[in-house]
A and B are shown apart, each in its own frame.
Chain A
């Protein structure tokens, strides 16, 4: 029987096993980002900014020019990159500890200035790399190594909703929250990333996509149960949708 290839790896994605834990969705999101870069023909002119956290090694998988930023500072580094090289396509890839905690000022101000950059924000409700401590996005009742009794609203505050917060800022052209827990949501994630990239290419403003993703290791759940948690627990707390799209306003 003649075989026909119907699904392939984007060339810009390295043909190597990733270091991520089984069931971790950083790999899935890398793939979607890689597909979007290729489909827009951006690979050759992209400069990526990698952040601190499990995804710091994105440069080992998505084969584009990359600079590593200190913890939380990726939006400031990306601002410097874009200002220095306006013809480049610039995206930053950040986790929730990185973006919503230590880097809160940098993301808010880059968004507010309307920097022509795209930020991919992977929200897995914990600090992954450092061993599962509480993040700003940790959900009420969720147990982590630094809130072993479960996050308590009165003691630690509630989870921060970054997509909703970012959408209020003037310089933002596109802001959405998606998930990668099923094919439908993966397709939606791809549409969102495409649209975020487009806002940069069209010089419309800042593009932001928050993606709900798993961290089976630190959630202490199987990959399958982790995926289910996204649908059952995370999406009710962090509703999916487009919170701002400048093109659709007026």
Chain B
């Protein structure tokens, strides 16, 4: 790790993380609140011999990503909610063709044009597969500028490890706030990446075909079984933050910025003697199911807090089913939460026992 810390926005940390991780192709289309990313990369990418294309739409930028990914190059696109909806076609094709690429969604309010403020309304879309067909993408949810950097940095390795799209689900809060970030030593470009599948021009070998069309009898079934096994193997990547959960009676489950804000509330309530803790999933797929279930087995109770009408709470309830349930508090998009906003709901859940 280089000694010098840099003071940057979450969005800029994503751009820097991608550059340092060896990303050399970026495709994007302007949408608030993530414009700092393409703006930074429009000069930074060409400066190191990479490619920056402002695409004509998110449809095109995600398909450019598909093309670059097929060549085994580290590539990324970024957007926010309405733009990510347009990318779903290509994301499904990438999952079907097993292409690695990084897609960032700085979640804003919806549905429709919504607003440009923070929200977690795209949880289902990200985690359950927003495009057509049975597929999953790895989903990473940063809560700080450092995590914006680190998770973006690591997303490329994960994409290549599993030959699969990796989503970073940030939000307007984490994208727009500024914090010190410790960058890592930049990774050298790996010429061997994807050596056995990427398109290079066939040379002397047999041609390679990267496709998602499987028409022969049983061919698609075989491919989908293979994909399912791959998605199951992603369990190895589960990440989460557990804060003061050991002796907690009530555990708040929250991700991204909301997890960060809820942590402040938990800290304050702890100081006042309430036995509360925080569990913050960092991978939303794979979801830290076993870990939550283990906590339920220890008799903990749960309160899921989200910046939406209730989406991740489904996964929490699935994780603890048969043992416990989870209360839910949804902070409505269109407003910015503070730690005080979560005080009453947490106290109520503690009393609810």
Q: A230–B207 Cα gap in the complex (Å)?
A: 34
Nearest-CB residue, chain B, relative to A86: B51
Is B90 a contact of A68 with CB atoms below 8 Å? no
Q: A25–B308 Cα gap in the complex (Å)?
A: 54
Is B212 a contact of A76 with CB atoms below 8 Å? no
Q: A88–B212 Cα gap in the complex (Å)?
A: 22
- Interface membership of chain B positions 52-66, coded 1 if the CB is closer than 8 angstroms to chain A and 0 otherwise: 010111011101111
A70-B89, A76-B63, A106-B60 are known contacts. Are A44 and B203 too (CB-CB below 8 A)?
A: yes
Q: A60–B236 Cα gap in the complex (Å)?
A: 37
Is B59 a contact of A65 with CB atoms below 8 Å? no
- The stretch of B70-78, B137-145, B146-154 that contacts the partner chain: B70-78
Asked if A85 CB lies within 8 Å of chain B CBs, one says yes
- Name A160-179 residues within 8 Å CB distance of B: none
- Name A48-106 residues within 8 Å CB distance of B: 49-50, 56, 59, 63-70, 73, 76-85, 87-89, 105-106
Q: A85–B201 Cα gap in the complex (Å)?
A: 9
Q: A230–B71 Cα gap in the complex (Å)?
A: 38
A59-B207, A106-B56 are known contacts. Are A80 and B65 too (CB-CB below 8 A)?
A: yes
Asked if B25 CB lies within 8 Å of chain A CBs, one says yes
Chain A min CB distance to B83 (Å): 14
B57 contacts which chain A residues (CB < 8 A)? 105
Is A65 a contact of B200 with CB atoms below 8 Å? yes
- Name A21-60 residues within 8 Å CB distance of B: 43-47, 49-50, 56, 59
Asked if B211 CB lies within 8 Å of chain A CBs, one says yes
A64 contacts which chain B residues (CB < 8 A)? 201-202, 207
A80-B25, A105-B60 are known contacts. Are A67 and B201 too (CB-CB below 8 A)?
A: no
Asked if B97 CB lies within 8 Å of chain A CBs, one says yes
B64 contacts which chain A residues (CB < 8 A)? 76-77, 79-80, 83
Nearest-CB residue, chain A, relative to B202: A65
Is A45 a contact of B201 with CB atoms below 8 Å? yes
Is A83 a contact of B207 with CB atoms below 8 Å? no
**Chain A contact residue count (CB 8 A cutoff):** 36
Asked if B93 CB lies within 8 Å of chain A CBs, one says yes
Chain B min CB distance to A249 (Å): 26
Is B67 a contact of A78 with CB atoms below 8 Å? yes
Nearest-CB residue, chain B, relative to A102: B59
Asked if B27 CB lies within 8 Å of chain A CBs, one says yes
Is B60 a contact of A85 with CB atoms below 8 Å? no
Nearest-CB residue, chain A, relative to B51: A83
Is B63 a contact of A73 with CB atoms below 8 Å? yes
A81 contacts which chain B residues (CB < 8 A)? 67-68, 70-71, 199
B71 contacts which chain A residues (CB < 8 A)? 47, 80-81, 84-85, 88
Could you list which residues of chain A lie within 8 angstroms of chain B, going by C-beta atoms? Answer: 43-47, 49-50, 56, 59, 63-70, 73, 76-85, 87-89, 105-106, 108-109, 113
A44-B203, A50-B211, A105-B56 given; 14 more Cβ-contact pairs under 8 Å: A47-B71, A49-B67, A65-B199, A68-B97, A70-B66, A73-B60, A76-B60, A76-B67, A78-B67, A79-B64, A80-B71, A84-B68, A106-B59, A109-B56
Which 9 pairs from chain A and chain B are nearest by CB? A80-B67, A80-B64, A45-B201, A76-B63, A84-B68, A68-B211, A77-B67, A84-B71, A109-B56
* 30 A-B residue pairings within 8 Å (CB atoms): A45-B201, A59-B211, A64-B207, A65-B200, A65-B202, A66-B209, A66-B211, A67-B66, A67-B211, A68-B93, A69-B66, A69-B93, A70-B89, A70-B93, A73-B89, A77-B67, A77-B70, A80-B25, A80-B69, A80-B71, A81-B67, A82-B67, A83-B53, A84-B73, A85-B71, A85-B199, A87-B201, A88-B71, A89-B201, A109-B55
